Amino acid sequence: MPTNAHAPLRTYLKLICVALFWGGTFIAGKMVAQQIPHLIAATGRFLVASGLLLLLAWRVEGGLPKLTRPQLHATFALGATGIFLYNICFFSALARMPAGRTALFVALNPIVTALALALLFGERLGARKWLGIAIAFVGAAIVITRGDLAGAAHDLSQSVGVGEFFMLCAVCAWAAYTIIGRHALKGLSPIAATTYASLWGLLLLTCGSLFEIRDVDWSHFTWPVLAAIVYLGAFGTVIGFVWYYEGVKSIGPARTAVFNNLVPVFGISLSSLLLGEPVLVSMVVGGLLVIAGVSLTNK
């Protein structure tokens, strides 16, 4: 049998691992968010990620290209939204709510992105996509309200806390990152664009973390916390990115995107196994509806 016949199988296994790595970021993030200030945690994550991305850019593409003025603005916007804002909200949410519930919010990323593209750029959505968006938002409402939709209608503050608000903001920040990357970047490879975005994000996070230095308890920087930060930077960011784009090249973006639906599944499973978090019926029902809506929208 030819060697390349094994390529799809290897690709599928790598994409399953990517979903596992990304699901694991919620457990690692939970460990870090409970021990050290959030801006410092995010700075550590992207210090690791940026160093590895620079090495990757040098090995694969011979270094980073010089940016034009529009590329400079676009990569800064990527860093400000997908790195800086997303990670502030990500760690803030994990400090306030279970990792499993947090992971379910990420399934809304493609839905919010599609909705934003329709509202801001006039992209047309057919009846099937609107149905998928509606199903996904019903599922999200079940997750957010823990199945008590009627109670939430009377008192929303009892169901939607600060953690949920931060995670919804994180989803919006990632949607902005996706849209900027799709519409504003011209002539940059995915590696170069991601590396520049990480460097801009690292700069912003470092500036912000200066205000948290005085509040740091350095005794909380234990080996498990440091290992979690390295995991977030290396596996959750760089290796996940590289293998995901290998999947896009090998089997196409549509088939690759299907594996994103495994991220909340792994997130919930790992949070239950490693953190002992309960798996609520509302999380299962709502999560399945979200995944069904996303699949219908992206079909």
**Each residue's pLDDT expressed in tens, for the chain with a length of 299 residues:** 444 555 678 888 988 899 899 999 999 999 999 899 999 999 999 999 999 999 999 999 998 999 888 899 999 999 999 999 999 999 999 998 888 888 878 877 877 888 888 888 777 777 887 888 788 778 777 777 766 555 544 545 555 678 888 988 998 998 888 888 876 677 888 889 899 999 999 999 999 998 888 878 888 889 999 999 999 999 999 998 888 888 877 877 667 777 877 888 888 888 888 888 887 787 788 878 877 887 777 66
Query: pTM for the complete prediction?
Result: 0.84
Distance CA 198, CA 192 (A): 10
Question: How far is 298 from 128, CA to CA, in rounded Å?
Answer: 10
| Dihedral (CA of 101, 104, 106, 109) sign | negative
Q: Decide if 109 contacts 178 (C-beta within 8 A).
A: yes
Supply φ then ψ for residue 64, to 5 degrees: -100, 140
DSSP string, 46-113: HHHHHHHHHHHHHHHHSSPPPPPHHHHHHHHHHIIIIIIIHHHHHHHHHTTS-HHHHHHHHTTHHHHH
In 3D space, the residue among 167, 157, 162 whose CA is nearest the CA of residue 112 turns out to be 167
Q: How far is CA 249 from the centre of its chain?
A: 21
Give dist(CA 230, CA 235) in Å, integer: 8
Distances (CA, A) of 65 to 125, 187, 189, 226, 249: 36, 10, 9, 32, 22
> At 199, which amino acid appears?
L
Cα angle 48, 52, 58 (rounded to 5 degrees) comes to 150
Judged by DSSP in three states, 120 sits in helix
Q: In terms of residue numbers, what domain contains 206?
A: 3-298
Rg over CA atoms, the chain: 19
Number of structural domains (the chain) is 1
In angstroms, the CA 228 to CA 59 distance is 26
Q: With the C-alpha atoms ordered 263, 158, 38, 175, is the resulting torsion angle positive or negative? A: positive
Mark out the alpha helices in the chain (DSSP H runs).
7-33, 38-61, 69-78, 86-94, 99-106, 109-121, 127-144, 149-154, 162-183, 190-209, 223-233, 240-251, 253-257, 262-275, 281-298
